[in-house]
Amino acid sequence: LFTDIRSFTTISEKMNAQELVGLLNEYFTEMVGIVMNEDGVVDKYIGDAIMALYNVPLEAPDHAMRAVRTALEFQERVRPLAERFAARHGGQLACGVGIHTGDAVVGTIGSEQRLEYTAIGDTINLGSRLEGLSKVYGVDIVVSETTRKLAPDFAWQELDRVRVKGKEQAVAIFWPVAPQERLEKATTDELKTWAAFLKAYRAQDWDQCDVLMLNLQRMNAKKYLYELYSERVASMRLLPFDPDWDGATNFETK
């Protein structure tokens, strides 16, 4: 799991060093407490980012569920922090989260002068990339399909199939909507319509996309994801039908 503060550079420009350290200490204290409550391990701080591991050093069969619960709790706990921050500095405070599940090399790694317990490998790299994609899709949490399959107690909205920089294989990414038991009928209907839209989108049926998007925007007019895909459809209908297109979005930057 990776999380960082949105627009941290912009925020830091408005604060002196003492205020900035105070903000980070307060933020890290809240977030790290949530990770530890779910038996996660805080691997490191990377500037304003936190890297956390689950299922190590002791096995936890429900590790994916724990990571998703952590991400959702982050969003709940950051709200009062954001209110205090806005009162003091007049800005907005928010965090993005990326989660991926897979094999990694975990252990003591480093130099002869300094060692640290950490994890490395493709799984870790993708988790970091997914956190960055949360900004692109206008959501606070992005989860890989591998994690989603291991967290069935949540309802999910598929965001896209993406091919991140450095990877040839596309992966499906998702946003956790809510625990299944809290899902309302209106949200269920919206998710069904969205699934139909993605099917039409990947079939390059742009007319059907327009019809379904109109319904989606009536259901949730403020959702940035729908605005993003409306613009994509408008651009892609100008291109010829491509039988080799796999429906994935390629990202050339980290």
pLDDT tens track for 120-136: 999 999 999 999 999 99
| Residues belonging to the chain | 254
- Cα–Cα nearest to 96, from 157, 153, 137, 154: 137
Q: Are 206 and 233 in contact (CB under 8 A)?
A: yes
pLDDT of 253 > 80? The answer is: no
Say what the pLDDT of residue 239 is: 94
| pLDDT per residue as tens digits for the range 138-196 | 999 999 999 999 999 999 999 999 999 878 899 999 999 999 999 999 999 999 999 99
Say what the pLDDT of residue 91 is: 80
pLDDT of 9 > 90? The answer is: no
Could you identify the residue written with the tokens 């998702």? 174
| pLDDT per residue as tens digits for the range 78-111 | 999 999 888 888 788 999 999 999 999 999 999 9
- Cα–Cα nearest to 193, from 214, 207, 172: 214
Confidence band for 10, pLDDT divided at 50, 70 and 90: confident
Q: Are 53 and 72 in contact (CB under 8 A)?
A: no
Which residues have a Cβ under 8 Å from the Cβ of 153 and sit 6 or more positions away?
65, 179, 180
8-22, 209-223, 234-248: range with lowest mean pLDDT = 8-22
Q: Please state, rounded to an integer, the average pLDDT across all residues of the chain.
A: 95
Mean pLDDT (whole number) for 73-79: 95
How many percent of the chain have pLDDT more than 90?
A: 89
